[in-house]
């Protein structure tokens, strides 16, 4: 038998540490009693706030009765009238309550017992107040949910920390935040449209993998009880998507969650959304055209004629994107040809520039750290960085003209990497040698080196055609298109330290 619900006043009495505002609301719930259902099963809405505004003239002329639900965001009034803004997902409409229309008892109930944050459905006709406010003259109302905890009194009560930690409050209090996440959804639809129109097939690949690969990163590890085996959350989609190329699906893409067990900062979250695409018979030049077209298409659609304001920068995506080489940019920055330098000389130079050298770092990894420090921060306008050292790209084809390099590009905008692409390595013998090089780095202490994936190699041994591949960080792309510098602002629920942890900011 179900236990009867406890009297809210008794709940408050049994919780001596309860906040006075919560205790007061529990008292109101008790006063409403069993006559008024506080948590009904459904409500039949006739119009959203946007629809009321769009159809106002016709609805008002017909004296049509509308039913409009939402959250109470404020209340003001006198002894006989009450004005309450009611907010739904799209905006707010004012509700006007009169004692003469509702009767004394029902008016007393709405006046005394509702609180900011409660959900309510109002029924009535539309009119404009003398101040021009679109308003529903309420003839009836329904409690939809009683809020036991109060909303913040002002938007400014929500710090950046609390906006990220309690996104529901941010969304409730901030229309701009709701619009930002709607834009993110629109961006994802636009990405899919772009690839679908070019005959790419959207696919899904495993999140739980017996081996992780496709990127240089540390994984999250879990255990499958039934199979008694260790599994990893994927760090990239690459190796499974390439298996599909082997199988004869010539153009594939996936928008998927990847997971990397690494630090967090304004452009990194351990769980993030990645776009990856692969096309048979393409190389990195073809992928460069595809990537430039995608980003320009989004800038036109979500910016101002192909231009975006990002912080203090005005980014222009209309002109052909700038192209530089990895080693050429470094040589220009340090005044020396690093290709001709030994590992010891590169390490000495990097140390002098302030790079923190870690055990097991090879020559090319040190060059990557130098590039991140000296070049990346100045790559503001869209720039393709091309032709990287081989060690940094164990899945990329050797450069057809330059020894020791691979055919790869990274797209940088506003000082951070947005996309990464290769002419994909498709010789299984060379791929095995590259994996063995990675194994040596792993044994030397590089815990981000890639593992040898025998099943992937067997797939390649069945023949993989020439292929171009590209990966793009969707969260960073959204950051650009909504003009925010922190990845938390484009993730509904970013990972956070526990509130009682040191440095949580709570």
Helix, strand, or coil (residue 310) = strand
Nearest to 397 by CA among 420, 422, 421: 422
Question: What is residue 506's predicted lDDT score, i.e. its pLDDT?
Answer: 38
């040898």: which residue's tokens?
A: 452
Q: What are the strands, taking DSSP E only, across 20-166?
A: 66-72, 76-77, 81-87, 92-98, 119-128, 134-145
Rounded CA-CA distance 236/212 in Å is: 8
Question: What is residue 446's predicted lDDT score, i.e. its pLDDT?
Answer: 73
């039934």: which residue's tokens?
A: 226
Stated length of the chain: 506
- Residue 390 near residue 373, CB atoms below 8 Å: no
Q: What is the pLDDT along the chain (506 residues), one digit of tens a residue?
A: 455 555 555 555 555 567 898 999 998 888 877 678 889 999 999 999 999 999 999 999 999 999 999 999 999 988 899 999 999 999 999 999 999 999 998 898 888 889 999 999 999 999 999 999 999 999 999 999 999 999 987 545 577 778 888 999 999 999 999 999 999 999 999 999 999 999 999 999 999 999 988 888 899 999 999 999 999 999 999 999 999 999 999 999 999 999 999 888 888 999 999 999 999 999 999 999 999 999 999 999 999 999 999 999 999 999 999 999 999 999 999 998 888 888 888 888 988 888 888 877 778 889 999 999 999 999 999 999 999 988 778 778 999 999 989 999 999 999 999 999 999 999 999 999 888 888 887 777 777 777 888 999 999 999 999 999 999 999 999 999 999 999 999 999 999 888 766 555 43
Q: Residue 272: beta bridge partners?
A: 258
Rounded CA-CA distance 480/354 in Å is: 29
**What is the token pair recorded at 10?**
């008794």
Q: Is 9 left (phi over 0), alpha (psi -120 to 50) or beta?
A: alpha
> Measured between alpha carbons, how far apart are the two ends of the chain, in Å?
42
Half-sphere exposure of 455 (CA within 13 A, CB side): 9
For helices 326-334 and 363-374, angle between their N-to-C axes, nearest 10 degrees: 70
Residue 442 burial by Cβ neighbours in a 10 Å radius (0-12, 13-18, 19+): middle
**Quick one: which H or E segment has residue 468?**
strand 467-473
- Residue 221 near residue 212, CB atoms below 8 Å: no
Question: What is residue 297's predicted lDDT score, i.e. its pLDDT?
Answer: 97
Alpha helices in 55-120 (DSSP H): 56-61, 99-102, 104-113
Phi, psi (deg, nearest 5) at residue 451: -85, 155
- Residue 163 near residue 177, CB atoms below 8 Å: yes
Full set of structural domains in the chain with CATH: 36-151 (2.40.50.140), 173-321+382-490 (3.30.930.10)
DSSP string, 183-201: HHHHHHHHHHHHHHTTTPE
Question: What is residue 159's predicted lDDT score, i.e. its pLDDT?
Answer: 74
Rounded CA-CA distance 236/274 in Å is: 8
Rounded CA-CA distance 318/305 in Å is: 8
Rounded CA-CA distance 466/400 in Å is: 13
Rounded CA-CA distance 370/331 in Å is: 11
Rounded CA-CA distance 317/321 in Å is: 7
Chain Cα centroid distance, residue 243: 27
Q: Residue 416: beta bridge partners?
A: 413
Question: What is residue 1's predicted lDDT score, i.e. its pLDDT?
Answer: 46
């040596």: which residue's tokens?
A: 440
Residue 483 burial by Cβ neighbours in a 10 Å radius (0-12, 13-18, 19+): middle
């Amino acid at each position: 038998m179900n236990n009867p619900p406890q009297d809210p006043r008794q709940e408050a009495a049994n919780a001596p540490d309860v906040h006075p505002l919560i205790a007061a609301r529990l008292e109101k719930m008790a006063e409403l009693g069993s006559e008024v259902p506080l948590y009904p099963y459904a409500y039949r809405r006739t119009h959203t706030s946007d629809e009321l505004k769009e159809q106002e003239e016709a609805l008002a002329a017909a004296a049509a009765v509308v039913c409009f639900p939402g959250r109470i965001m404020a209340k003001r009034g006198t002894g006989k009238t009450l004005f309450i803004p009611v907010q739904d997902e799209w905006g707010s409409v004012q509700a006007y309550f009169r004692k003469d229309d509702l009767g004394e008892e029902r008016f007393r109930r709405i006046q005394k017992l509702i609180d900011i944050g409660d959900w309510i459905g109002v029924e009535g006709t539309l009119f404009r107040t003398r101040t021009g406010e679109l308003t529903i003259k309420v003839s009836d109302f329904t409690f939809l949910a009683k809020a036991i905890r109060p909303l913040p009194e002002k938007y400014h009560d929500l710090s950046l920390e609390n906006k990220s930690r309690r996104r529901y409050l941010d969304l409730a209090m901030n229309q701009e935040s709701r619009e930002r996440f709607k834009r993110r959804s629109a961006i994802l639809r636009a990405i899919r449209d772009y690839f679908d129109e070019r005959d790419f097939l959207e696919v899904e690949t495993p999140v739980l993998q017996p081996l992780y690969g496709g990127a240089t990163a540390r994984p999250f590890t879990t255990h499958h009880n039934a199979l008694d085996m260790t599994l990893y959350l994927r760090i990239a989609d690459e190796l499974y998507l390439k298996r599909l190329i082997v199988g004869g699906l010539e153009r594939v893409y996936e928008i998927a969650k990847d997971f990397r067990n690494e630090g967090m900062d304004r452009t990194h979250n351990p769980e993030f959304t990645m776009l990856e695409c692969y096309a048979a018979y393409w190389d990195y030049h073809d992928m460069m055209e595809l990537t430039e077209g995608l980003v320009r298409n989004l800038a036109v659609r979500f910016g101002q004629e192909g231009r975006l304001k990002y912080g203090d920068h005005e980014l222009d995506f209309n002109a052909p994107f700038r192209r530089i080489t990895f080693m050429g940019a470094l040589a220009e920055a340090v005044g020396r040809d690093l290709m001709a330098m030994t590992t010891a000389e590169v390490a000495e130079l990097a140390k002098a520039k302030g790079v923190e050298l870690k055990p097991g770092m090879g020559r090319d990894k040190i060059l990557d750290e130098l590039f991140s420090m000296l070049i990346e921060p100045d790559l503001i306008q869209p720039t393709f960085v091309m032709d990287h050292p081989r060690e940094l790209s164990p899945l990329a084809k050797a450069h057809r003209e330059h020894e020791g390099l691979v055919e790869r590009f990274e797209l940088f905008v506003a000082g951070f990497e947005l996309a990464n692409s290769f002419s994909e390595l498709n010789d299984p013998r060379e791929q095995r040698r590259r994996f063995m090089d990675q194994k040596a780095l792993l044994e030397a202490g590089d815990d981000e080196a890639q593992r040898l994936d025998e099943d992937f190699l067997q797939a390649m041994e069945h023949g993989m055609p020439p292929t171009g591949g590209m990966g793009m960080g969707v969260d960073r792309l959204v950051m650009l298109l909504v003009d925010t510098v922190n990845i938390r602002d484009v993730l509904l629920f970013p990972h956070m330290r526990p509130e009682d942890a040191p440095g949580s900011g709570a």
